[in-house]
């Protein structure tokens, strides 16, 4: 690519005003939020890169589709359109709608996981593992070691280590593994893809032991793009074709339509097995809604159906990945320690390498995210010790090797100029990193998914996070 960034493949039909705040206002907002960026109000955030989940800009066609939603309680036309879109693009025969991805995870985990079960996966995801554990299962990370090394340039850091998986199968017995959980791409590793060859090998291994594979399909379109770009043999395929091939190697999927599918809400569970589908439909009625709406309004199902079709349009997915790469390149050129290669939905800054002087139990990533917000009004997400939670056996903080702040790019929302602002903010905080000489401690710590609602205080009274702003 030349120095110039390719133009966005859309034009703007409606705009939304961005809140602009002073450093003093941000300092107050941060204090009120208990130094947890998850608790900031959106109106105090200038550029919000907390997540790409449900924060996408819908197209004119999606907005138009909303108006044609059929809100019938049972058998809505919108459900059948939704079901057809999922079947056509992902290939699962049975489609159970849910309000979002975790609804599908709940249904699946309740159907398949019993106390004493073991679930291997390519790195944990917060809600996925929480549902596995709530149902008595134990999660095992079987991702390749390279995924835990932020600097390593492996093109498929989402790959499963077959030796680790095989060892686990022998240790606990295949009968205690209800399924292998395969994420594409791997969110917690920074949006790293799994290769088709690796997934094929996982399928061959699990088939020998009669263990199903469940795909976490939230960003499978982005994964398909990387396969086409990086994996020999796939260059002549469409992204839609690669996506179908990915799904063909799995027995089912949980989906958050708030990611790839360009919607603001929605999800589904897709399975091939009729018995499991029957069980899931019984559960969905209890936890989500009838099996023809599953917690979504008819109009939501319309928006998702249209979004699925748009998600595999070549120019859409190309612009998406290129924009993330553009931000990554700017930060990388400035010497910021990042997770490499740049992932599909996010640029991840290595907070442990940025703040090596901070102990892990003072939460370097949470501290760096707070400092970035204070500096520029940009909200990142913490993906490190706070997100990882406590070890249920020892009670101590888990210390994942990756201690990151994740700059997550919503789809079709921000322009290239916004990416420049973000890059300037991150670079500015990086240059002042020596001033971040103390971290944070808990003053309130929830039991489950603690990163969302925890509250902190700076560990030192003169922390840069609380120091009065210098007059400009």
Ligand X SMILES: *Cc1c(COP(=O)(O)O)cnc(C)c1O
Q: Which residues bind to ligand X, rule: CB under 6 A?
A: 53, 100-102, 125, 127-128, 183, 187, 216, 218, 256, 258-259, 267
Residue 452 falls in the annotated catalytic set: no
The smaller minimum CB distance to ligand X, of residues 347 and 371, is found at 347
Question: Cβ 195 to ligand X, closest distance in Å?
Answer: 18
Residue 412 falls in the annotated catalytic set: no
CA separation, residue 349 to residues 30, 195, 445 (Å):
21, 24, 25
Residue 23 falls in the annotated catalytic set: no
Residue 48 falls in the annotated catalytic set: no
The smaller minimum CB distance to ligand X, of residues 96 and 429, is found at 96
Question: Cβ 243 to ligand X, closest distance in Å?
Answer: 16
Residue 79 falls in the annotated catalytic set: no
Q: What does the longest C-alpha to C-alpha distance in the chain come to?
A: 68
Sequence length of the chain is 472
H helix or E strand, kind and range, residue 442: strand 440-444
Residue of 50, 82, 124, 125 marked active site: 125
**Phi and psi, residue 355, nearest 5°:** -120, 65
What sign has the CA pseudo-torsion 89, 94, 96, 97? Answer: positive
Q: Are 259 and 52 in contact (CB under 8 A)?
A: yes
Residue of 102, 228, 383, 406 marked active site: 383
Residue of 102, 157, 203, 259 marked active site: 259
Residue 383 falls in the annotated catalytic set: yes
Question: Cβ 442 to ligand X, closest distance in Å?
Answer: 24
The smaller minimum CB distance to ligand X, of residues 202 and 253, is found at 253
* Lookup: tokens for 78: 């919108």
Residue of 48, 52, 216, 350 marked active site: 216
- Return the residue nearest ligand X (CB atom): 101
Residue 126 falls in the annotated catalytic set: yes
The smaller minimum CB distance to ligand X, of residues 295 and 425, is found at 295
* 1: Cβ contacts below 8 Å, ≥ 6 apart: 322
CA separation, residue 329 to residues 318, 375, 383, 421, 460 (Å):
16, 21, 21, 14, 34
* Lookup: tokens for 51: 């997540």
The smaller minimum CB distance to ligand X, of residues 128 and 292, is found at 128
Beta-strand relationship, 213-216 and 180-183 = parallel
Question: Cβ 91 to ligand X, closest distance in Å?
Answer: 19
Beta sheet of 346-350, edge-to-edge order:
346-350, 404-408, 381-383
Question: Cβ 135 to ligand X, closest distance in Å?
Answer: 16
H helix or E strand, kind and range, residue 183: strand 180-183
Active site residues: 73, 125-126, 216, 259, 383, 451
């Amino acid at each position: 690519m030349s120095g110039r960034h390719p133009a966005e493949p859309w034009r703007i039909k409606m705009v939304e005003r961005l809140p602009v705040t002073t450093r003093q206002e941000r300092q107050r907002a941060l204090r009120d939020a208990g130094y947890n960026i998850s608790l900031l109000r959106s109106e105090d955030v200038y550029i919000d890169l907390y997540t790409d989940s449900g924060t996408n800009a819908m197209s004119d066609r999606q907005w138009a589709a909303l108006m044609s939603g059929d809100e019938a309680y049972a058998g809505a036309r919108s459900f059948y359109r939704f079901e057809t879109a999922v079947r056509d693009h992902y290939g699962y025969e049975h489609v159970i709608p849910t309000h979002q991805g975790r609804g599908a995870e709940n249904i699946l985990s309740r159907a398949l996981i019993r106390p004493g079960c073991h679930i291997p996966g390519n790195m944990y995801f917060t809600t996925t593992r929480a549902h596995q554990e709530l149902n008595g299962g134990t999660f095992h990370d079987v991702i390749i070691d390279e995924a835990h090394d932020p600097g390593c340039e492996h093109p498929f850091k989402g790959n499963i280590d077959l030796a680790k998986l095989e060892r686990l199968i022998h240790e606990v017995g295949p009968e205690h593994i209800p399924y292998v959980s395969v994420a594409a791409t791997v969110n917690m590793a920074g949006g790293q893809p799994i290769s088709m060859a690796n997934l094929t090998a996982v399928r061959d291994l699990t088939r020998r032991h009669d263990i199903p594979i469940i795909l976490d399909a939230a960003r499978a379109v982005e994964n398909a793009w990387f396969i086409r770009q990086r994996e020999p043999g796939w260059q002549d395929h469409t992204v839609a074709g690669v996506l179908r091939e990915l799904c063909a190697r799995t027995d089912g999927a949980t989906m958050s339509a708030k990611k790839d599918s360009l919607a603001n809400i929605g999800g589904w569970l897709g399975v091939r097995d009729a018995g499991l589908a029957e069980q899931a439909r019984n559960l969905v009625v209890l936890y989500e809604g009838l099996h023809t709406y599953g917690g979504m309004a008819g109009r939501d199902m319309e928006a998702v159906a249209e979004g699925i079709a748009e998600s595999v349009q070549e120019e859409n997915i190309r612009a998406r990945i290129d924009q993330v790469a553009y931000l990554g390149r700017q930060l990388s050129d400035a010497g910021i320690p990042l997770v490499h290669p740049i992932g599909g939905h996010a640029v991840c800054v290595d907070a442990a390498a940025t703040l090596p002087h901070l102990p892990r139990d003072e939460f370097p990533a949470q501290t760096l995210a707070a400092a970035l917000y204070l500096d520029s009004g940009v909200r990142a997400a913490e993906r490190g010790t706070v997100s990882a939670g406590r070890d249920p056996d020892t009670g101590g903080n888990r210390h994942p090797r990756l201690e990151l702040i994740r700059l997550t790019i919503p789809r079709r929302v921000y322009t290239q100029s916004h990416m420049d602002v973000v890059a300037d903010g991150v670079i500015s905080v990086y240059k002042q990193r020596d001033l971040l000489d103390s971290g944070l401690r808990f003053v309130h710590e929830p039991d489950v998914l603690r990163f969302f609602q925890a509250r902190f205080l700076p560990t030192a009274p003169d922390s840069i996070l609380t120091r009065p702003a210098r007059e400009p």
